[in-house]
Chain A
Amino acid sequence: MTSRALAWRTITAEPARAALAIAGVTVIGALLFDMLMLSQGLLVSFREMLDTTGYDVRVVATDAFPGRVDITNASEVAADIAGLPEVRDVAVVRSDRAIVVVPDRPATEVALLNLSEGAERQGWRIVEGADLGAIRRSESSPPAVISRSLARALGLRPGSALPLRVLISGAASAVPLVTFTVVGIAEFQFEGNGAEALATTFDAFQRARASMSSDTADLILVASRPPIEAAATVAAISARRHDVHAFSNEQIVERFNENGFAYFRQISFVLSTITLGFAFLLVTSLLTVSVNQRLGQVAALRALGVPRHRIAATLVWESALLVGAGGLLSLPTGWLLALELDRILRDMPNIPERLHFFVLEPRLALWHLGLIALTGVAAVLYPVWVAARLPIAATLRFETIS
């Protein structure tokens, strides 16, 4: 009988015990898989979000990005950048905080947005009603495209009136209410839990802020002309304009990786380490107790001439079968668990809908299986040592008299 067959018989002889061991490895393995996903999930998801906007360079006023400082003379800066040969497209993003005051509803804080003309399709997708462009030149009250969550929260539909007051921080101000007309409801690119959004035209945006003369912006989005790399566009913008700072998507992800997302990466590292140690100790305990239970059997096999390495191979197979089955089952279990953990974490305010904490990647699954396999190998070392150094005669005698 081969070592593998002997290991299989040993496991199937105690099906309840084997099932519990596999269940334990599955659950602990699922947690490990989730922690691996958590270590990279936000970065992968954030990078995808940035890349799918169609712009590969962000221009801001300060190198302390993501700290917010307005870009002054934004239209002039944007036109200058648009003139660079490396640039295909430019969009100016302006935002402010505002309060929506709908009668009989609680005042709701929203992000008031304006994207330069033509860039709206990158910022939101209309799901009901019309886009801003449809009535951009209208003389009626200023148009607004609102997020689905804001529409739901305040019971708004296309055609509804929406009184709004901009909040100006750092200034004594009593900006009057401006009543917008909802023209459309949209799914915003960076729409998130608790972050209501409202987009409007440049004129209406300035009117709401009661500052028709200032031309400031939060950031300028730049798309490089193919096949030019984002790094080359960043260099060109930096050489051209010394009053602004340009970052490629890669640099922004790296900066968030250092600061904003570091906590989840660190906690995933700590919990992965604890989980691995935990799995190692538990599988070692299980196999050691199993070997102790079969000391007589092992001694008898040795007395019959079965060499040490075959005994060791049997234990390795036993570990491989238990840990392997649990490790494979932990992949789907981990994914299901990740969906639930992701749902819990996405309850945090201002998390964009498309940002996820757990993202499934094939290379992470391979890493996971590798770590589980390593744990299985490490866990079998002690039981193998116990079985290999077993004194045959003394053990058989003890088993007989006991």
Chain B
Amino acid sequence: MANLGRAGRTLIPVAIGCLVTAVVFAQTTKPTSSTVRLKPDTTSIATANDDDTVPDHTVRENSVPQVLLSRHLMREAGVLVGDVVTLAADADGAGSTLFRVAGVYEPTPDPRKFSAQRLEARLHLADLIGLAEDSADPASGDIVSAINLALLDRKDADAVAAAIVRRVPGARVSSTQPSNSPNDPFAVLERFHWAIAIVTVTGSTAFLLALMIMRAEQRRDIIGILRLLGVPSRSILLEVLLEGLLIALGGAIFGIVMAVAAQGAINRFFQWRFDTTLVFVRVTAVIAWEAVAFAVPLGVAAGLAASWTLMRRSVVSLVGR
């Protein structure tokens, strides 16, 4: 029915698709991780083996204690599994101990450290204490950097944190749950991405409206003839509405497919760039629905707004008489 050029018919869904893609990326291009364990800053590269990643059956096969090294540290230090390495808690190497590398592990991805080299090692607790203990300070063997707590009910996190701070003045207690603070870095990044999404949608809406006005102008003759034949304006508008809906849906689906296809490439690029397994872009169902909820009504509304101007004209002017 439409006297629209083939290229134009193809490009409008593409344009809507781009809009959807841009909204999806603007919403998701940020580091995300399903689990994050926060630890206080420490100058030592050694951390206690708190998740049993050092295999017990290999412990102390011989007199040299064993250690697991992160993939980054293995590469940086140029060591292999089975090598004997020296670890020391002090930068000058004082009190160093020999360890045999029992294996390599991938550090848990942490959005707060995604650009940092994860030069880490996992030791048995006894080995770590032996390495870090200060013989002049008997209490130094009983110091921990962090204590991880598993609560019976996650909702109690704030109350538990407050109770600990009251009992242990000076302790820093933080929940692994996302912070509700507006100053939380990820909340700020989310607002930033939303702002970019809104700007993108504003710009593309202007383009879309311009395209739809041109498209409506192209159909002026046909609409005039239909009205001369007695087809009511409501039916013509309904047809425009349905056609706009189909184009917008097509564009939205195209956009989501584009976003899903591109997310792998973007993740691989960032994972390569920052040498991490962190997932940077994840097109979730919620985000896809949000993008569709933005794009489809906008596409339909733009089509209707453009056609409405034609409906208000007289039939005679529409057919050029």
Q: Interface residues, chain A, CB within 8 Å of chain B? A: 14, 16-17, 20-21, 23-24, 26-28, 30-31, 61-62, 67-69, 99, 165, 167, 169-174, 193-194, 258-260, 262-263, 266-267, 270-271, 274-275, 277-278, 281-282, 284-286, 288-293, 295, 337, 340-341, 344-345, 347-349, 382, 386, 402
Contacts and interface: CB of A to CB of B under 8 A. Distances in A.
Which residue, B40, B169, B199, B204, has most C-beta atoms of chain A within 10 A?
Answer: B199
B145 interface: yes
B273 A288 contact: no
Contacts of B7: 288-289, 292, 382, 386
B204 A289 contact: no
Given A27-B202, A27-B203, A278-B204, 14 more contacts: A20-B206, A20-B207, A20-B209, A24-B204, A171-B143, A172-B142, A270-B25, A278-B200, A286-B210, A286-B211, A288-B7, A293-B214, A347-B183, A348-B183
Interface in B236-272: 266, 270
Given A282-B204, A349-B185, A293 B115 contact: no
Nearest to B139: A172
| Chain B contact patch, size range | 35 or more
Given A24-B207, A262-B274, A285 B15 contact: yes
A174 B139 CA distance: 13
Interface string B91-112: 1000000000000000000000
Contact of B183 (A31, A263, A341, A349): A349
A286 B214 CA distance: 9
Contacts of B40: 169
Interface in B74-95: 91
B232 interface: no
A25 B140 CA distance: 64
B312 to A, nearest CB: 14
A289 B188 contact: no
Contacts of B209: 20
Interface in B190-205: 191-192, 195-196, 199-200, 202-204
Nearest to A67: B43
21 contacts: A20-B213, A23-B203, A30-B199, A67-B43, A68-B43, A99-B170, A170-B42, A172-B142, A259-B115, A259-B116, A260-B115, A275-B22, A278-B204, A282-B207, A288-B5, A292-B4, A292-B8, A292-B218, A293-B214, A293-B218, A349-B183
B195 A340 contact: yes
A16 B206 CA distance: 11
Given A172-B142, A292-B4, A286 B43 contact: no
Contacts of B11: 281, 284-285, 288-289
Which residue, B41, B140, B191, B204, has most C-beta atoms of chain A within 10 A?
Answer: B204
Contacts of A270: 25, 29, 266
B270 A266 contact: yes
Nearest to A70: B43
A295 B195 CA distance: 40
A303 to B, nearest CB: 20
Interface string B208-240: 011101110110000000000000000000000
A282 B15 contact: yes
Given A278-B22, A347-B183, A289 B143 contact: no
A123 B215 CA distance: 62
A285 B188 contact: no
Contacts of B210: 17, 20-21, 24, 286
Contacts of B188: 344-345, 347-348
Interface in B117-150: 139-140, 142-143, 145
A68 B192 CA distance: 30
Nearest to A243: B92
Given A69-B91, A290-B214, A285 B170 contact: no
A348 B185 contact: yes
B170 A28 contact: no
B273 A266 contact: yes
A31 B199 CA distance: 7
Nearest to B92: A243
Nearest to A259: B115
B270 A165 contact: no
Interface in B157-191: 169-170, 172, 182-183, 185, 188, 191
Per CB-CB distance, the 10 closest pairs between chain A and chain B, nearest first, are A292-B5, A27-B203, A20-B210, A24-B207, A24-B206, A285-B11, A289-B8, A28-B203, A23-B206, A282-B207
A248 B56 CA distance: 47
A27 B199 contact: yes
Nearest to A27: B203
A170 B214 CA distance: 69
Contact of A169 (B14, B41, B140, B199): B41
Contacts of A14: 213-214, 217
A369 to B, nearest CB: 17
A288 B183 contact: no
Contacts of A28: 200, 203-204, 207
A30 B116 CA distance: 32
Nearest to B217: A293
B21 interface: yes
B114 interface: yes
A278 B205 CA distance: 12
A275 B196 CA distance: 11
A289 B183 contact: no
A379 B39 CA distance: 51
Contacts of A286: 207, 210-211, 214
A171 B7 CA distance: 71
Given A69-B43, A266-B270, A278-B22, A289 B214 contact: yes
Contact of A344 (B12, B195, B274): B195
A349 B196 CA distance: 21
Nearest to B43: A69
A194 B3 CA distance: 60
Interface in B30-49: 30-31, 40-43
Contacts of A340: 195
B279 interface: no
Contacts of A290: 214
Contact of B182 (A167, A292, A347): A347
Given A20-B213, A292-B5, A344-B191, A274 B21 contact: yes
